[in-house]
Amino acid sequence: MRVTINGETRNVTATRIDALLNELEYEGSHFAIALNFDVLPKSRWAETHLKAGDEIEIITPRQGG
């Protein structure tokens, strides 16, 4: 299934958000995720199904002014 992750289109086999993170080898613990411009709380990662064309942003803390 083709989805867009952090602005890049790619093919993934995962069908849920938590599985997607595993598939892409995201190992850290401090992420926030936006699915199609809406925040997806961590509590819903396991139950949220992906569909083709979804836009996913995977965000972490970074230096800022």
Partner 1 sequence: MVKFYDREFSSRLLIGTALYPSPKIMQDAIRASGSQIVTVSLRRESAGGKTGDAFWSLIRELDVTVLPNTAGCKTVREAVTTAKLARELFGTPWVKLEVIADNDTLQPDVVGLVEAATILIKDGFEVFPYCTDDLGVAIRLVDAGCKVVMPWAAPIGSAKGIINRDGLRLLRDRLPDITLVVDAGLGAPSHAAQALELGYDAVLLNTAIAKADDPVAMANAFRLGVEAGRTAYQAGLMEARDFASPSTPVVGTPFWHVVS
Whether the Cβ atoms of residue 26 and residue 56 lie closer than 8 Å to each other: no
- Report the nearest approach of partner 1 to the CB of residue 22 (Å): 11
Q: Give whichever of 41 and 52 is closer to partner 1, judged by the CB atom.
A: 41
Determine if 24 is a binding residue for partner 1 (CB under 8 A): yes
How remote is the C-alpha of 15 from its chain's centroid? 11
Q: Give whichever of 38 and 47 is closer to partner 1, judged by the CB atom.
A: 38
Token pair, residue 27, equals: 């190992």
Whether the Cβ atoms of residue 42 and residue 34 lie closer than 8 Å to each other: no
Q: Give how many residues touch partner 1 by CB under 8 A.
A: 26
